[in-house]
Amino acid sequence: MATIYQPYAFDWRYGLFECFDSVGDCLLGLFCPNCYAAYASDAAQESVIASILQCLFYPLGLCFLRPRVRQDLGIPGSLIKDILASCCCPCCTAIQIKREFAD
C-alpha cells in the first residue's frame, strides 16, 4: 500500500544540523555516506535504480533528491538552498531527508 504524505505548511521538521540528535544516524551518515544517501532515497520512496544512483553519485544525487522531496512535501524553500545544503553538508542533508520520512 502506498503511503500518502500530507504537504507541510512549514519548513523542514528537522533542521539541517539536527542530524546530531540521532547518534546512530549521525555515525552511519558520517562513515558510510553513500549507503546512507541510498537509504534516504529509499525512505523517500524513490525507485531502486534511483537509490543505487544516489549511492554511486553521492553527493550530486542529493542535489536532485532534496528539491523533489521538498516539493512533494510542500516545504517552502529554493533550489539554491537545496544545492548549497547538498554540496556543503551532504551527510546532514541525507540524514534530514531520511528523518522526514521516518515518523
pLDDT 10s digits, 85-103: 999 999 999 999 989 888 6
The total of structural domains in the chain comes to: 1
Q: What is the pLDDT of residues 21-79, one digit of tens each?
A: 889 989 998 898 888 888 888 888 888 888 888 888 888 989 999 999 999 889 999 99
DSSP state of 56: H
What residue numbers bound the domain in which 87 lies? 21-102
Query: Whole-prediction pTM value?
Result: 0.82
Is position 35 within any domain? yes
pLDDT at 8 over 60: no
Nearest Cα residue to 95 out of 5, 7, 21: 21
Is position 4 within any domain? no
